[in-house]
């Protein structure tokens, strides 16, 4: 594959047209949107806006076709055997809640065990806590090593005949760690447990193949992969999705409705109650086109280069702590703290130089506790970031350090 043509990619993102350009390094939270995605959604609004799956007129047929075309593109992206195994939701959070409510209510009983890791995002933790409270199931956690890798020595003890489900993040949104989920999935299946993969930080950044992984469910969000907000995806194995009861009830998800009972539509409609995010699904389809045309393998190489460079540069700064493993075990996420400076102050000073990073607990409070910090600063990359963005981050951090130590000294005097 050809390396990314970052210069021409950047031209598709009007947000980078300012001088100096915005150094946008908060891609793990949400990425920017290229023109082709916005134009595809504009085209829907301008020329064929209508509801789907019901109109018997031309523009509604067109909207339905485009919505279903988007589903096919997403299915192809993750190599799902059939498009109907792709359920459109609002985001990763809703996808995981769908599994917790629907699959959970039919399959989890008191005393059953759910295995998670301490590095989970709250959206792959709180739904399981709620489920455990409803059913009397027990949550168990895989710990991490000091390097920020999952501690596999525990896996054998954690997985027993009581384990009904393993819910694991593919890539940590804080540490960047790429977890060896294939081994986890094989081990979970060996004890008869199902596996939910939180792929919010993996599908946007490298090729994920649900058939190769053999995962039971996989969840991700459109807004982290050049798509709009308000659209997410749940992939599931066909036999599981077919057996599962509906999550939300309402229009579009039924076959027929009596006063007291209803029968439900086939997949995927069974899980798409009400009018869905039509423009957003179409936008996501075009975002899939955009990142696959850029080439996911080239994107991964580009992010690795930025990550290695950032690791080396940031390590030059005195008093900095970088969290997580070595770059080759990570995706393009780098969390850090600077001695004596709150990460919010770091992000605040960088913002005055048009550098956007994240600071906080990153919806991973149990992980913060494990790392023994309240918060971290975090820079994260995507296909449009450049070495210059990293240089500006480095220089901004040096300036932040000078500024903060000067004002701390002044306060002490
Ligand atoms: N899981 C991970 C690993 C994430 O990074 C995020 C987003 N920060 C989520 C889940 C939740 O995604 P969303 O807010 O789109 O539901």
* Residue that the structure tokens 């939300």 belong to: 248
User: Is the model's pTM score more than 0.80?
Assistant: yes
Distance 4 CA to ligand 1 centre (A): 26
Distance of CA 101 to the CA centre of its chain: 20
Tell the residue nearest (CA) to atom 12 of ligand 1: 92
Tell the residue nearest (CA) to atom 15 of ligand 1: 91
Tell the residue nearest (CA) to atom 5 of ligand 1: 173
Distance 123 CA to ligand 1 centre (A): 6
Distance 404 CA to ligand 1 centre (A): 32
Distance 224 CA to ligand 1 centre (A): 9
Distance 124 CA to ligand 1 centre (A): 8
pLDDT at 221: 98
Question: For the packed helices 296-315 and 278-294, what is the interaxial angle rounded to 10 degrees?
Answer: 80
Contact 167, 128 (CB under 8 A): yes
Which of 200, 222, 365, when mutated, tests ligand 1's pocket best, judged by the most ligand atoms within 8 Å of its CB? 200
Distance 92 CA to ligand 1 centre (A): 6
Distance 60 CA to ligand 1 centre (A): 32
Tell the residue nearest (CA) to atom 6 of ligand 1: 200
Atom of ligand 1 at shortest range from CA of 120: 3
Which of 122, 221, 376, 380, when mutated, tests ligand 1's pocket best, judged by the most ligand atoms within 8 Å of its CB? 221
Which of 363, 376, 378, when mutated, tests ligand 1's pocket best, judged by the most ligand atoms within 8 Å of its CB? 363
Atom of ligand 1 at shortest range from CA of 29: 8
pLDDT at 369: 97
**Pocket around ligand 1: residues whose beta carbon is below 6 Å from it?**
28-29, 91-93, 121, 123-124, 169, 173, 198, 200-201, 221, 363
Q: Is the peptide bond before 403 cis (omega within 30 degrees of 0)?
A: no
pLDDT in tens, the chain (413 residues): 999 999 999 999 999 999 999 999 999 999 999 999 999 999 999 999 999 987 789 999 999 999 999 999 999 999 999 999 999 999 999 999 999 999 999 999 999 999 999 999 999 999 999 999 999 999 999 999 999 999 999 999 999 999 999 999 999 999 999 999 999 999 999 999 999 999 999 999 999 999 999 999 999 999 999 999 999 999 999 999 999 999 999 999 999 999 999 999 999 999 999 999 999 999 999 999 999 999 999 999 999 999 999 999 999 999 999 999 999 999 999 999 999 999 999 999 999 999 999 999 999 999 999 999 999 999 999 999 999 999 999 999 999 999 988 888 888 88
pLDDT at 406: 86
What is the complex's ipTM, to 2 decimals?
Answer: 0.99
Atom of ligand 1 at shortest range from CA of 221: 15
Burial class (CB in 10 A: 0-12, 13-18, 19+), 287: buried
Q: Which residues contact 2 (CB under 8 A, 6 or more apart)?
A: 295, 298
Tell the residue nearest (CA) to atom 7 of ligand 1: 29
Distance 200 CA to ligand 1 centre (A): 5
Catalytic residue (choose from 215, 226, 363, 398): 363
pLDDT at 140: 98
Which of 126, 175, 201, when mutated, tests ligand 1's pocket best, judged by the most ligand atoms within 8 Å of its CB? 201
Give the chain as a 3 state SS string. Answer: CCCCCHHHHHHCCHHHCCCCCCEECECCCCCCCCHHHHHHHHHHHHHHCCCCCCCCCHHHHHHHHHHHHHHHHHHHHCCCCCHHHEEEECCHHHHHHHHHHHHHHHHCCCCCEEEEECCCCHHHCHHHHHHHHHHCCEEEEECECCCCCECHHHHHHHCCCCEEEEEEECECCCCCEECCHHHHHHHHHHCCCEEEEECCCCCCCCCCCHHHHCCCEEEEEHHHCCCCCCCEEEEECHHHHHHCCCCCCCCCCEEEECCCCEEECCCCHHHCCCCCCHHHHHHHHHHHHHHHHHCHHHHHHHHHHHHHHHHHHHHCCCCEEEECCCHHHECCEEEEEECCECHHHHHHHHHCCCEECEEECCCCHHHHHHHCCCCEEEEECCCCCCHHHHHHHHHHHHHHHHHHHHHHHHHHC
* Residue that the structure tokens 């992980």 belong to: 367
At 8, list the tokens: 């021409």
Atom of ligand 1 at shortest range from CA of 170: 3
Atom of ligand 1 at shortest range from CA of 169: 3
226 is catalytic: no
Atom of ligand 1 at shortest range from CA of 94: 16
């Amino acid at each position: 594959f050809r390396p990314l043509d970052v210069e021409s990619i950047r031209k598709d993102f009007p947000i980078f047209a300012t001088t100096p350009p915005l150094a946008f390094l908060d891609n793990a939270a949400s990425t920017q949107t290229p023109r082709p995605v916005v134009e595809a959604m504009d085209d829907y609004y301008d020329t064929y806006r209508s509801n789907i799956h019901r109109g018997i007129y031309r523009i509604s047929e067109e909207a339905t076709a485009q919505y279903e075309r988007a589903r096919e593109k997403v299915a192809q992206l993750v190599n799902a055997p059939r498009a109907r195994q792709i359920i459109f939701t609002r985001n990763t959070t809703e996808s995981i809640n769908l599994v917790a409510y629907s699959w959970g209510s039919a399959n989890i009983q008191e005393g059953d065990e759910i295995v998670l890791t301490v590095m989970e995002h709250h959206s792959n933790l709180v739904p399981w806590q709620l489920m455990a409270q409803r059913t009397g199931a027990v949550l168990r956690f895989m710990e991490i090593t000091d390097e920020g890798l999952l501690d596999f020595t525990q896996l054998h003890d954690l997985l027993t005949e009581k384990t009904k489900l393993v819910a694991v993040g593919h890539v940590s949104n804080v540490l960047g760690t790429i977890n060896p989920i294939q081994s986890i999935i094989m081990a979970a299946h060996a004890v008869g447990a199902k596996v939910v993969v939180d792929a919010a930080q993996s599908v946007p950044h490298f090729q994920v193949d649900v058939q190769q992984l053999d995962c039971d469910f996989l969840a991700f969000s459109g807004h982290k992969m050049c798509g709009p907000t308000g659209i997410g995806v749940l992939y599931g194995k066909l036999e599981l999705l077919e057996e599962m009861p509906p999550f939300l009830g309402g229009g579009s998800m039924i076959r027929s409705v009596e006063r007291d009972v209803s029968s439900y539509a086939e997949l995927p409609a069974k899980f798409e109650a009400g009018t869905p995010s039509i423009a957003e699904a179409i936008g996501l389809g075009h975002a899939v086109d955009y990142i696959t045309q850029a080439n996911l393998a080239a994107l991964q190489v580009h992010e690795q280069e930025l990550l290695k460079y950032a690791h080396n540069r940031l390590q030059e700064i005195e008093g900095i702590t970088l969290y997580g493993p070595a770059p080759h075990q990570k995706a393009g996420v780098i969390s850090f703290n600077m001695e004596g400076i709150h990460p919010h102050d770091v992000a605040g000073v960088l913002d005055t130089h048009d550098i956007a990073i994240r600071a906080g607990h990153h919806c991973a409070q149990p992980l913060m506790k494990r790392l023994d910090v309240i918060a971290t600063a975090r820079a994260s990359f995507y296909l449009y970031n450049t070495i210059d963005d990293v240089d500006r981050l480095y220089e901004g951090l040096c300036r932040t350090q000078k500024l903060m130590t000067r004002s701390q000294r002044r306060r002490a005097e």
